[in-house]
Amino acid sequence: MEVSEGMVNFHDRKAEVLGYEPENFKHYEDFTTLIHPDDYERTMNAMKNHLEGEAERYEVEYRIQAKDGSYHWFQDIGSISERYDDGSPKRVIGLVVDITERMEAKSKLSEQRDNLETLNKVLRHDIRNDLQLVAGNADMLAEGLQDENLEYVETIQENVKHAIELTTTARDMADVWLSENDDRTIVPLKSTLENMLDEARAVHTDSVIQVDGEVPDVPVLADDMLSSVFDNLLNNAVQHNDNDIPKVNVSVENGTETVHVRVADNGPGVPDNRKESIFGEGEKGMESSGTGLGLHLVKTLMDKYGGSVWVEDNDPKGAVFIVELQKPSSKM
């Protein structure tokens, strides 16, 4: 662009994309009059600030109206390429990129995010409140029954419990997807794990859940959803268990740079050909009554933390799920 005269030399492709002939764009104002009203001031200021020396270059994203009335998104990046003897700008050269597809995809993604946030709110409040009400009434009904009808109420209680688990896991997955902060923070392992052990014992009263040794009081790199990792591993160890009395043993190995948390059970174990796929979305264990999302959530969170999770065979039977968490370095 010749600054003093306002004459421009656009690539023919820009005119073609907008449905115009190249000769329609000879002067700066030939296209500025087509800029979307919401973008006009910002676009003009980008060039003005650069020409006046307030910005090293001009870079702006804006919409411009095509001949058919639709708008296309463009990104301009450029700078002064030549000056007059007095130092004032003479010529500007730059790059123009059609970013319409990218911006439409971004808009669609934003809409999907809004829809996911709405669904998350429904899961957090409406559905969970209704399920809690059903569970409470089923518990009260069970207290007054002693005949064969009790079996039907117990079925209701069991399915409500699974439905609550599903909403909890789906809520946690939504929180992960919606999170804009991928930074890890320092989280206390001991209190986080012990709180989840207490909750698991309170929920699974017919199971034996114990800790081998002491849980070390060490920090790990994670976030406030680390409790969901332990919650899902403990629930998985009980729900996929085919014994009358499920037994779960938790142990912690405190290394120099990492911490290994092992959750071992006396269930049917995991076949070798499923030891990796079991962490996939919607995967369920043999004869599973769970949702199939719990282990996928564990894997998603561990990837976010820069750690890992895998499953091994327990001795003499069962499975051992192991999570490896990073410890903060001395520089943090």
Are residues 290 and 324 both part of a single domain? yes
Compute the mean pLDDT over every residue in the chain, rounded to the nearest whole number: 85
**Pair 145, 194 in one domain:** no
Please indicate, yes or no, if residue 3 is contained in any of the structural domains.
no
Smallest CA-to-CA distance from 16 within 63, 59, 72 is with: 72
Clarify whether residues 57 and 197 are in a common domain. no
Indicate the residue among 180, 198, 227 that finishes a domain: 180
pLDDT digits (tens, 9 = 90+) for 244-295: 899 999 999 999 999 999 999 999 999 999 999 898 865 554 444 444 578 8
Whichever domain contains 74, its CATH number is 3.30.450.20
Whether residues 142 and 222 share a domain: the answer is no
For residues 121 and 257, the model is more confident at 257
* DSSP annotation of 35: B
What integer pLDDT is reported at residue 123 of this predicted model? 66
Predicted confidence (pLDDT) per residue in 179-202, tens digit: 666 678 999 999 999 999 999 999
Q: Which of 80-84, 85-89, 324-328 is the most confident on average? A: 324-328
Q: What is the CATH number of the domain that holds 325?
A: 3.30.565.10
Helices 226-239 and 189-203: angle between axes, nearest 10 degrees: 30
Q: Same domain, yes or no, for 189 and 324?
A: yes
* Residue whose structure tokens are 């890890």: 184
Indicate if 189 and 293 belong to the same structural domain: yes
**Domain match, 187 and 331 both:** yes
pLDDT of residue 285: 47
Long-range contacts formed by 105-112: CB under 8 A, 24+ apart: none
Shared-domain flag, residues 189 and 288: yes
> Are 249 and 298 found together in one domain?
yes
pLDDT score of 300 more than 90: no
Distance, CA of 121 to CA of 167 (rounded, Å): 11
Q: Is residue 2 part of a domain?
A: no
Q: Are 151 and 267 members of one domain?
A: no
Query: 238 in the Ramachandran plot: left (φ > 0), alpha (ψ -120 to 50) or beta?
Result: alpha
Looking at the domain assignment, is residue 4 inside a domain? Answer: no
Residue 7: inside a domain:
no
222: Cα within 13 Å, side-chain hemisphere: 27
Query: Is 272 part of a structural domain of the chain?
Result: yes
Count of C-beta atoms within a 10 Å radius of residue 50 = 21
**126, 151, 180 — which closes off a domain?**
180
Q: Check residues 128 and 197 and name the one with the higher pLDDT.
A: 197
**Is 19 within a domain?**
yes
83 and 29 together in one domain: yes
Residues 296 and 176 in one domain: no
Q: Give me the domain span that covers residue 254.
A: 183-332
The last residue of a domain, from among 156, 180, 204 = 180
Which amino acid, 250?
Answer: V
Domain count, the chain: 3
**Residue 328: inside a domain, yes or no?**
yes
How far apart (Å, rounded) are the C-alpha atoms in residues 35 and 38? Answer: 8
Give the closest residue to 167 by CA, choosing from 113, 121, 204, 111: 121
Residue 165 lies in a domain: yes
CB atoms within 10 A of CB 43: 20
pLDDT digits (tens, 9 = 90+) for 134-158: 888 888 888 877 677 787 887 887 7
Q: Which among 194, 203, 169 is positioned nearest to 261, based on CA atoms?
A: 194
